[in-house]
């Protein structure tokens, strides 16, 4: 995974239910969705310290559900807490 994350060369968000919420804050003025990458486990936290830990809520969700929520937030232009 480290090689892939190094190749991305962008901010990495590690989804983790026990972290600060993802959907608050202010985006940089030069932000675009090409400039951000998300990583997540499915039913367990990733064994990884890379990326900014953020949460979609206090309940654990399946990976495909998290992906749908993140796509919705990005499509709607919701401010992210980076």
Q: What per-residue string of b and e applies to 6-21 under the rule 16 or more CB within 10 Å gives b?
A: eeeeeeebbbbeebee
| pLDDT score for 24 | 65
Write down the pLDDT at residue 29: 64
| 71 vs 38: CA distance, rounded Å | 10
Would the pTM count as exceeding 0.85? no
67-70 long-range contacts (CB < 8 A, ≥24 apart) are 67/38, 67/40, 70/15, 70/22, 70/38
Tally of CA atoms within 13 A in the half-sphere of 34 that contains its CB: 1
12-59 tens-digit pLDDT: 888 888 888 787 655 556 666 667 888 887 667 778 888 888 988 888
């Amino acid at each position: 995974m480290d090689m892939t994350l190094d190749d991305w060369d962008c901010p990495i968000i590690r989804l983790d239910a026990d972290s600060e919420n993802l959907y608050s804050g202010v985006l940089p003025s030069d932000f675009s969705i090409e400039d951000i990458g998300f990583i997540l486990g499915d039913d367990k936290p990733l064994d990884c310290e890379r990326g900014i830990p953020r949460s979609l809520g206090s309940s654990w969700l399946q990976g495909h559900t998290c992906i749908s929520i993140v796509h919705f937030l990005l499509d709607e232009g919701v401010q992210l807490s980076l």
